[in-house]
Every structure is written in structure tokens, then in C-alpha cells.
Structure 1
Amino acid sequence: MPARIRLQRHGKKAKPFYHIVVSDARAPRDGKFIEKLGTYNPLSHPPLVEVDIENAVFWLQKGAQPTDTVRSILSHTGVLYKKHLLEGVSKGAFDQNEAEKRFQLWLEEKASKMQGKKEALIQRAKEEKVKKNQAEAQMREARAQKNKPEKEEVIAQELNEAESSEIVIATQADEEKIAQ
């Protein structure tokens, strides 16, 4: 029975969520599986991946073939690197402790790179928000400048009307004083 490590789709329509599973190659995509190794959520940024590294390495050593997407996921999580290190141990290139040290060092470097990327994404989002706010402020200012002459004309007309009405009222009051 050839074993495959592949994605099993879950989630709603247009909102995929995947389980990383070991299954018989002849089984349907979302059908029976042998063991669940982890999850993959492509909608989060960066994609959220949780994998049981030890079980994944176990199945890879037993000959399970990952699909292209799963191979990429396993590479990013360090499963393939750990398998490579364990092959070096079995060939006598170095011991188990050295392999664990190298793997932990790799995980720390990967975590620091991911943290840097997350901080860069957050910084870029803040900068885009500031630019958007500045653009909106410029748009409001442009609209205000466009509407300002019209408002000034309306105010000037109202002042002229008010002055003319005051003059008319004053002349009427003068006429009444003269008439008395």
C-alpha cells in the first residue's frame, strides 16, 4: 500500500482549511486517512502551519511520498531538514546530539526571520494607513478649497442683502420720523 502525505480539505466554500494527513494513495482526497499530522490555514498572513514534526519524519522515513504542496509545507516547517539530519546520523556523519543542536539552531533562525517578516508587514500596514489618511486629508482640503469660493459668495450676498435691508429699514425709520 503506497502511502501519501497530502492535504485534506475542510472549511467553508471560499474559506479553505486543510488537514495534513497520511493516507493510502488510492483513497479519495477527503476520504479515509491513516494519521493526521497537522493543519494548514492558507487564509492567514503568513499562512498558519502546525505539524507534528516527529510523526512526519517517521512517515517520510517509512517511504510516504508528500504531494508538491505538502513538500513545500514540510520544507518550511523543517521536517525535511530534520529527516536529512537523521540520515546523516544513520550514516555516521555526526551524532544525534549534534543533529538536534543543528535543528534547534535552524528553528531559531527561522523564527527570527518570521518575526522580522511579521514586523515588516505590520510596519508596512501602518505606513499604508498613514498614506491613506494623508490622501483623505488632501481630498477634504481640495473639496474645501473648491467649495470655499461658493461659500464666500453666498456669505457676501447675505451680507449685501443684510446691509441693504438695514438701509431700507433705516430709511423707513427716517421717513417715519420726518412724517411725525
Structure 2
Amino acid sequence: MPAKIRLQRFGKKGAPFYHIVVSDSRAPRDGRYIEKLGIYNPLTKPATIDIDFERSVYWVKVGAQPTDTAKAILSYKGVLYRHHLNVGVVKGAMTQEQADAKFDKWLSEKQAKIEQKSKSVETDSIEMRKAQIEAEKKVRAERDKALQAKRQAEMKAEAKTEDVAEVEEVVADVEEAPVAEETVAVAEETPVAEVEETPAVEDAPVAEEPVAEVEETPAAEEPATEEPKTEE
């Protein structure tokens, strides 16, 4: 039966993790598997790889073909290198002790590199976090500045509105003032008309009395003038 070492995807969208499994190469990708060898989580830094080392070496020995990603994982963990050393021991190129010494040396060097990378990643994470905090402070400061500018603009707008209201009140007072003056003017004109009418009524009888006296005086003298004419 042709076997394959591959990854089986789990997790939600955008946050996947994988099981490292041995399955029949003819089975569907998410179908049943023969054996689970470990897990692989690419979201952590560095990536988390936890596998059963001895069982992985066994499946490689019996001819299970890893996929590209699975092969990279097995190489990273030293499974392929250990299989290579075991083949050398079988062929007589080296003893088991020599193979074990070489693998231990490689494993210690690999572990040192992993630790160094982990420290580097941790340092980068700290620096990244500091940069993120500074960026957040900057954004917060800009937001506060924009909010303060908006408040000042609103205060200016309110002050301008109050000034306009005061001007409108003054204009309304100015427009009402002539109406009051016209009322006063009308009130002042009314007594003047009454004063002019009163002397007109008093002058009429004064003018009539002298005229009557002048007309009556010649009427009394007419008989005296006619008497001398009769004597002639």
C-alpha cells in the first residue's frame, strides 16, 4: 500500500493549524488516515512543531513519501538526517555510536540556532510592540488634537451665532424707534389743530359788530337831508 506523509488542515478561516498524518495516497485529502505523527502550528513565532520522532523515522524507513511541506518539517526536526545516518550504519559506512554522535552534534547545533532565533523573534516582538504603542500614542494625540480643533470651531460658531442674535435684536430696536416717534408726532399735531380752530370762532362776532354800527348811523341822518329840499 503506497503511504504518504502529509498535513491535514484544522482550525477556522485565517487561523489554521495542521495535523501531520500518514495516510493512503489514494485517500481524499481530508479522509481517514493511518496514523497521526504530530501537529504543526504556523501561527506561532517560531512555528510550533511537535512530532513523534521515532515513528516518523519508521515511516520514512518503510517508504512513506512526504509532501513538500511535510518533507520540510521532517528535515527541520532531523527525521530525514537520522534516516540518512541509519542507512549509513546499515551499509557499514559508520558504526551506530558514530551515527549517534553525529546526530547529537547536529541536534545541539540546531537547538542553539532555534534558541537564538527565538530570542531574536522575542526581541523583534518587543520592538514591534514598542513601535505599535508609539503609533497608538501618535494616533491618539492626533485624534485628541482634531477633537480639540472641532470643539474650538463649535465654540466659535456658537459665539458668532450669539453675536448675530445680538445684532438682530439691536436692529429690531432701531426699527421700532421711528414708530414711537410717529406716534408722538401725531399726538403733538392734534392739539395744534384745536388751538387754530378756537380763535376762528372768537373773531367772527368781533368783525360783525362794527359793520352793523356803521350801517345804522347813515340811516338815521337821511330825513334831515330831505327837509331843506321841501322848503324851496
Q: Where does structure 2 lack aligned partners over 5 or more consecutive residues? A: 153-232
- For 1:105-144, what per-residue CA distance to the aligned partner results, in whole angstroms no more than 9, with x for missing partners? 2111111111111111121222334445556677859x88
State the superposition RMSD in angstroms. 2.5
Report the identity percentage: 51
Of Structure 1 and Structure 2, the greater strand share is in 1
| Aligned-partner SS, 2:9 | strand
What are the within-5 Å matches in structure 2 for residues 86-165 of structure 1? 86-133=86-133, 140=141
CA offset at residue 24 of structure 1? Answer: 0.5
Measured at CA, do residues 96 and 39 of structure 1 come closer, stay the same or move farther in structure 2, by a change above 3 Å?
same
Number of aligned pairs?
149
What is aligned with 2:9? Answer: 9
8-17 or 130-139, larger mean C-alpha shift? 130-139
Partner letter of residue 22 of structure 2? V
Distance, in Å, in 1 between the alignment partners of 2:33 and 2:81 is: 25
Comparing both structures, which one devotes a greater share of its residues to helix?
Answer: 2
- In structure 1, runs of 5+ residues without a counterpart are 152-180
Q: Which has the higher contact order (CA 8 A, sep 6+)?
A: 1
Select between 46-55 and 122-131 the one with higher mean Cα deviation.
122-131
The 3 A distance-change label for structure 1 pair 133 and 106 is same
Rate the CA distance shift 1:5–1:129 in 2: closer, same or farther, 3 A.
closer
Give the CA deviation at 1:83: 0.5
The TM-score, its normalising length taken from structure 2, stands at 0.57
Shift in alpha-carbon separation, 1:35–1:135, aligned structure 2, 3 A: closer
Structure 2 CA distance for aligned equivalents of residues 138 and 8 of structure 1: 43
- Which residue number in structure 1 is paired with residue 177 of structure 2? none
**Contact between 2:10 and 2:16, CA under 8 Å: does it hold in 1?**
yes
Deviations 1:69-109 (A, max 9, x none): 10001010100000011011011111112211211221111
Change (3 A) 1:49 1:136: closer
Task: Show structure 1 runs of 4+ deviating over 3 A.
Answer: 128-141
**Are 1:77 and 2:82 matched, yes or no?**
no
